[in-house]
Amino acid sequence: MTNIHSRPLLGALLLAALTAGFAACSRKEGCTDPLATNYDPDAQRDCCCAYATGKTFTITDLGNGVKQVQGETDQDVTLTSGTKWLLHGFVYVNSGATLTIEPGTVIKGDKDSKATLVVRRGGRFHAEGTSTQPIVFTSAQPAGQRAPGDWGGIIVCGKAPVNLQGGEGTIEGGVDATFGGYDATHSSGILRYIRIEFSGVPFQPNQEINGLTLGGVGSGTTIDHIQVSYNGDDSYEFFGGTVNVKHLVALASWDDDFDMDNGYAGKGQFLVALRDPAIADQSGSNGLEHDNDGQGTAAAPFTAPVLSNVSIFGPQATPGTIINGSFKRAGHLRRNTHSKVFNSVFAGFPTGLVVDGAACEANADGGDLKVRRCVYSAMGTLTGVASGSTWDIQSWFTAGGNVSVDDNGALGVADPFQLTAPGFQLTGGSMLADGAAFGEPELNDPFFEQVPHRGAFGTQDWTAGWCNWDPQHTPY
């Protein structure tokens, strides 16, 4: 989980120097962006641009087709696919500005400066890749030398409700960004067909940035077809907000796959996670981790995501698989969350589902917390409750139409535990091919595609063409 703080804005405009060509045959260098204050219409090669924002924002040509971006902008900026981009330090997109990223663009995060991209409340992100030209955010380290935490990650802040005191909060770890408000339908833009790799730098002990952090992001925002791989903390964390998400992939991150809290009340469908048996966080790694807030209060709005067709493939493909001892649960629902999970599959964790605490037990009995028509496979322990509780979770589990199997092979999924080339699509006769149902009132919404299968996949692989299962060895 992540929390909050602020710091003063940076100072005045920094103008970058223009460099003249050394030979008559060389192209004239200068700023080629008409939006910049030092725009040179005669420049043929971009060396650097400066923007009159009252804050520092620079784009510097580092040579070899690489441009460095740093600072914060109040104006619209476009990152083009013909250039390789390097983020340096905290890069902020301020209120009123839009960051546009072309399909196929590669953006790397500088390690030493803990590069992080932050879209502030009121700023917009227009990053729309395609299935054949995804946008890639990745490590600046050479192939074979990349690791979780090589840079910060992506943070998007919106104006939708959160349940923090005063209705807003700020992100921890030195990030100067406030999130939250009262506009449930607010839009922070579009994020589609994007990969985020090797992020999660620790700014302070036990304070890492998530791969994609969404703070108070509203339902007017589009988030679809995102892959977070090898992040140093959670793959995705939602701090309140109402944004709806589809086709999210979490690969081999350290902590939790889908962490939701502080009043997140959006919808999600077709979410998949795959864990590396060797990689887990000392705090305990889970597939789903949901809290109303850090203390489990009754603060409104409640954390109440509605999820359908989720597939969480944990670290244990077979009983003999050696796994990191910090792996915990496929689903940990705690601290007064009102989560609803339907038509999903969870496989290969030490524990399947934990409903933790008296408040969550009461929510489950009252219908505010639901887990229904889900399949749990090859769990060391199927279900659990808080220490000392006598609540009958097994009866509640069975009454919800949930089932368990002992062997992951019984699921009928092609090859879901193969880290570098997983096959999530269903094979002939799969027990997951049917059994989904959308009669629950929470699923009576045009957002949800009424598919017959449980889990994130039928017979088609929607990760094909844009996901990368071996980013460690990909030349960028």
Same domain, 213 and 95: yes
Same domain, 1 and 115: yes
Same domain, 99 and 231: yes
Q: Would 51 be classed as within a structural domain?
A: yes
- Tell me what the mean pLDDT of segment 305-320 comes to: 98
Domain housing 323: 292-461
Q: Would 330 be classed as within a structural domain?
A: yes
56 or 79: which leads in pLDDT:
79
Give the model confidence (pLDDT) of 219-266 as tens digits. Answer: 999 999 999 999 999 999 999 999 999 999 999 999 999 999 999 999
Question: Does the pLDDT at position 9 exceed 60?
Answer: no
Backbone angles phi, psi at 367, to 5 degrees: 85, 5
Question: Does the pLDDT at position 35 exceed 60?
Answer: no
Same domain, 390 and 454: yes
Find, among 207, 160, 173, the residue nearest to 6 by Cα. 173
Same domain, 249 and 392: no
Same domain, 247 and 302: no
Same domain, 378 and 298: yes
Model confidence at 203, in pLDDT bands (50, 70, 90)?
A: confident
Model confidence at 22, in pLDDT bands (50, 70, 90)?
A: very low
Given 202, 237, 254, the domain boundary residue is 254
Model confidence at 300, in pLDDT bands (50, 70, 90)?
A: very high
Given 201, 231, 254, the domain boundary residue is 254
- With H, G, I as helix, E, B as strand and everything else as coil, classify residue 326: coil
Percent of the chain with pLDDT over 90: 85
Question: Does the pLDDT at position 123 exceed 50?
Answer: yes
**What pLDDT does residue 206 have?**
66
Given 201, 236, 254, the domain boundary residue is 254
To the nearest whole number, what is the mean pLDDT of the chain? 92
Q: Would 390 be classed as within a structural domain?
A: yes
Q: Return the minimum-mean-pLDDT range out of 170-179, 338-347, 406-415.
A: 170-179
- Tell me what the mean pLDDT of segment 266-289 comes to: 98
Find, among 402, 416, 334, 406, the residue nearest to 372 by Cα. 402
Find, among 119, 195, 197, 199, the residue nearest to 151 by Cα. 199
Q: Are strands 202-204 and 207-208 parallel, antiparallel or unpaired?
A: antiparallel
What's the whole-model pTM score?
A: 0.90
Q: Would 201 be classed as within a structural domain?
A: yes
Q: Would 469 be classed as within a structural domain?
A: no
Q: Would 113 be classed as within a structural domain?
A: yes
CA-CA distance, 450 to 63, in Å (whole number)? 50
Question: Does the pLDDT at position 454 exceed 50?
Answer: yes
Same domain, 344 and 244: no
Same domain, 243 and 298: no
Q: Return the minimum-mean-pLDDT range out of 35-44, 126-135, 299-308, 310-319.
A: 35-44
**What pLDDT does residue 33 have?**
56
CA-CA distance, 454 to 272, in Å (whole number)? 12
Give the model confidence (pLDDT) of 385-431 as tens digits. Answer: 999 999 999 999 999 999 999 999 999 999 999 999 999 999 999 99
Q: Looking at the 3D structure of the chain, how many domains does it have?
A: 2
- Tell me what the mean pLDDT of segment 37-58 comes to: 70
Question: Does the pLDDT at position 14 exceed 50?
Answer: no
Find, among 88, 99, 90, the residue nearest to 72 by Cα. 90
Same domain, 106 and 218: yes
Give the model confidence (pLDDT) of 91-119 as tens digits. Answer: 999 999 999 999 999 999 999 999 999 99
DSSP label of 397: H
**What pLDDT does residue 38 have?**
75
Q: Return the minimum-mean-pLDDT range out of 38-47, 120-129, 290-299.
A: 38-47
Percent of the chain with pLDDT over 70: 90
**What pLDDT does residue 30 have?**
77
CA-CA distance, 92 to 97, in Å (whole number)? 10
Same domain, 225 and 314: no
**What pLDDT does residue 10 have?**
33
Is the CB of residue 251 less than 8 Å from the CB of residue 274? yes
**What pLDDT does residue 36 have?**
57
Q: Would 472 be classed as within a structural domain?
A: no
What are the C-alpha distances in Å from 234 to residues 24, 171, 316, 369? 53, 14, 19, 23
Same domain, 247 and 116: yes
Question: Does the pLDDT at position 342 exceed 80?
Answer: yes
Report the sign of the C-alpha dihedral through residues 440, 442, 446, 451, in that order: negative
Tokens of 136: 């890639």
Q: Would 269 be classed as within a structural domain?
A: no
Question: Does the pLDDT at position 200 exceed 70?
Answer: yes
